[in-house]
Structure 1
Amino acid sequence: MSTNAVRTTLITGAASGIGAALARHLTALGERVIGVDLSNADICADLAVPAERAALVARVQKITPSLDAVVMCAGVSPPVAGDTLVSVNYFGVADLLPRLLPLLQRGRQPRAVVISSLASLHPIDTRLVEMCLAGEEFAARKQAANIGAPSYASSKRALTQWIRRTAALPGWADAGVLLNGIAPGVVKTPMVAPLLETAEGREALSAGVPTVVRDYATAEQIVPLLAFLASPANGYMVGQVPFVDGGADVLLRGEAAL
């Protein structure tokens, strides 16, 4: 197969926000994009539903025999209910991406990228994180419904740990499938728009995600790093989750490297 063959990338959350911006970027480069979202996508599926995740894989297989990259952009935040939130943000990756691994293993210089969040540094519910990492979705949904808003940070902490745990497992990097993530701060997407529209919301964002730059990121500013991690140019990063946050990590943790 020619090394100049068009790459095929599957993007979840492709109908809006960062996922849509990445889809436009890759399409402009001449790459093939398969978009997944609740609606207005090549494949419409609800990643909060386990059965739809399983069916999604079969639908992808009907479109393509292999994938060169998968970028998991789908995510939700409060006021979405905690049970739905944890199923989308954590299990919508940790359950679905391994199901797509055989397609990636047949791809060319395959890459997988997951969007976590700067919120992974915020206070968490340890029990919920443990349930997620143990694969106990029913229990995790129940716990998330009980604790409410902290489900978001907890789901993203679990997701970051899952990326680091999974990236070095057999069948991933040793098979050429490099798995990494990114941890954005505030990005001006439809998910964040309601908070930016009120003084109370902006104050809450500023307290939780302080920055040293003048404005929050646009989706297009996040895309170049995602595109690099999903490309053959990224030939050596494994299990990394760099912060793309306007300095929030530095402000929250200081000079601590770990």
Structure 2
Amino acid sequence: MAVPRTTLITGAASGMGAALARHLTALGERVIGVDLHDAQVCADLTDPAQRAALVARVQQIAPSIDAVVACAGVSPPVPGDTLVAVNYFGVTDLLPRLLPLLHRATEPRAVVISSLASLHPVDARLVELCLDGNEAAAREQAGKIGAQSYASSKRALTQWIRRTAVLPGWADKGVLLNGVAPGIVMTPMVAPLLETAEGREALAAGVPTVVPDYATAEQIVPLLAFLASPANGYMVGQVPFVDGGADVLLRGEAAL
């Protein structure tokens, strides 16, 4: 009998993380959930010390992990410095720390939630600071620009995925790193915007779609599960859009 895979999911207490946890558990796989609360491992991803403690705790739970899926994320009106700390450094500082555990697995995978917002206007300075790994300066810059920190953090995250996926220690060691860029997903994170006419208009302007409804978390899960599984044996550094057509409407037919 095959040994069940073990997948670590950040943001596992709600939204896409919770939906993925339910899906994998139903398949008989083991899930290690990470979140601020209501999770097997509780940690604040804005705090570098808690990121390190999280990894130490996971090492106590499992000698190896087969996949990491980084679903944790926040959006406005959360302050900009918190946005960049969770959305960018809560991934890019954490995943390399987990590499030794992934290296012990037979077919390790890593998946990161980016966003269609990565196509929106960004603050170039914040993107640069993120990619340079300067968390203190990035958080300071994000605090100055506010809401634009969301798109900027996701643009930087997408670039980090593509940059990192081909570095030594990742695909060459079997750790296939990819992302997913959803459009609007009906999760607790976007619920406040959907409750007001002003919020719905802002969403429609920034994320136009050609389908009648926004996605449910369960509609994103199959792609996440595939990318985190051995069935994905050849995708490296890709961040496909799952957005109801928003990418095409915003960028047209250009392939690049």
- Pair in the same fold by TM > 0.5: yes
Shift of residue 108 of structure 1?
A: 2.1
- Aligned partner of 1:234 in structure 2 is 232
User: Could you report, residue by residue, the CA deviation over 1:71-99 in whole angstroms, capped at 9, with x for unpaired residues?
Assistant: 00000000001001100000000000000
Tell me, in whole angstroms, the C-alpha distance in 1 between the residues paired with 2:209 and 2:43. Answer: 35
TM-score between both structures, scaled by the size of structure 2: 0.99
- Aligned partner of 1:75 in structure 2 is 73
Tell me, in whole angstroms, the C-alpha distance in 2 between the residues paired with 1:77 and 1:49. Answer: 17
TM-score between both structures, scaled by the size of structure 1: 0.99
- Aligned partner of 1:183 in structure 2 is 181
- Aligned partner of 2:24 in structure 1 is 26
- Aligned partner of 1:148 in structure 2 is 146
| 1:160 to 2:158 alignment | yes
Tell me, in whole angstroms, the C-alpha distance in 2 between the residues paired with 1:226 and 1:218. Answer: 13
- Aligned partner of 1:212 in structure 2 is 210
Q: For structure 1, which runs of at least 5 residues remain unmatched after alignment?
A: none
- Aligned partner of 2:41 in structure 1 is 43
- Aligned partner of 1:91 in structure 2 is 89
- Aligned partner of 2:12 in structure 1 is 14
User: Could you report, residue by residue, the CA deviation over 1:150-191 in whole angstroms, capped at 9, with x for unpaired residues?
Assistant: 000000000000000000000100000000000000000000
- Aligned partner of 1:127 in structure 2 is 125
User: Could you report, residue by residue, the CA deviation over 1:233-254 in whole angstroms, capped at 9, with x for unpaired residues?
Assistant: 0000000000000000000000
- Whichever residue aligns with residue 113 of structure 1, its letter is V
Tell me, in whole angstroms, the C-alpha distance in 2 between the residues paired with 1:227 and 1:169. Answer: 23
Tell me the secondary structure at the aligned position of residue 211 of structure 1: coil
User: Could you report, residue by residue, the CA deviation over 1:102-158 in whole angstroms, capped at 9, with x for unpaired residues?
Assistant: 100101200000000000000000000000000000000000000000000000000
- Aligned partner of 2:106 in structure 1 is 108
Tell me, in whole angstroms, the C-alpha distance in 2 between the residues paired with 1:99 and 1:199. Answer: 42
- Whichever residue aligns with residue 95 of structure 2, its letter is L
Q: For structure 2, which runs of at least 5 residues remain unmatched after alignment?
A: none
- Aligned partner of 2:170 in structure 1 is 172
- Whichever residue aligns with residue 205 of structure 1, its letter is L
- Aligned partner of 1:246 in structure 2 is 244
User: Could you report, residue by residue, the CA deviation over 1:207-237 in whole angstroms, capped at 9, with x for unpaired residues?
Assistant: 0000000100000000000000000000000
Tell me, in whole angstroms, the C-alpha distance in 1 between the residues paired with 2:96 and 2:71. Answer: 16
- Aligned partner of 2:51 in structure 1 is 53
- Whichever residue aligns with residue 110 of structure 2, its letter is A
Tell me the secondary structure at the aligned position of residue 147 of structure 2: coil
State how many pairs are aligned. 256
Tell me, in whole angstroms, the C-alpha distance in 2 between the residues paired with 1:65 and 1:27. Answer: 19
- Aligned partner of 1:256 in structure 2 is 254
Shift of residue 54 of structure 1?
A: 0.7
Tell me the secondary structure at the aligned position of residue 177 of structure 2: strand
Tell me, in whole angstroms, the C-alpha distance in 2 between the residues paired with 1:44 and 1:5. Answer: 26
Over aligned residues, Cα RMSD in angstroms? 0.5
- Whichever residue aligns with residue 31 of structure 1, its letter is E
Tell me the secondary structure at the aligned position of residue 77 of structure 2: coil
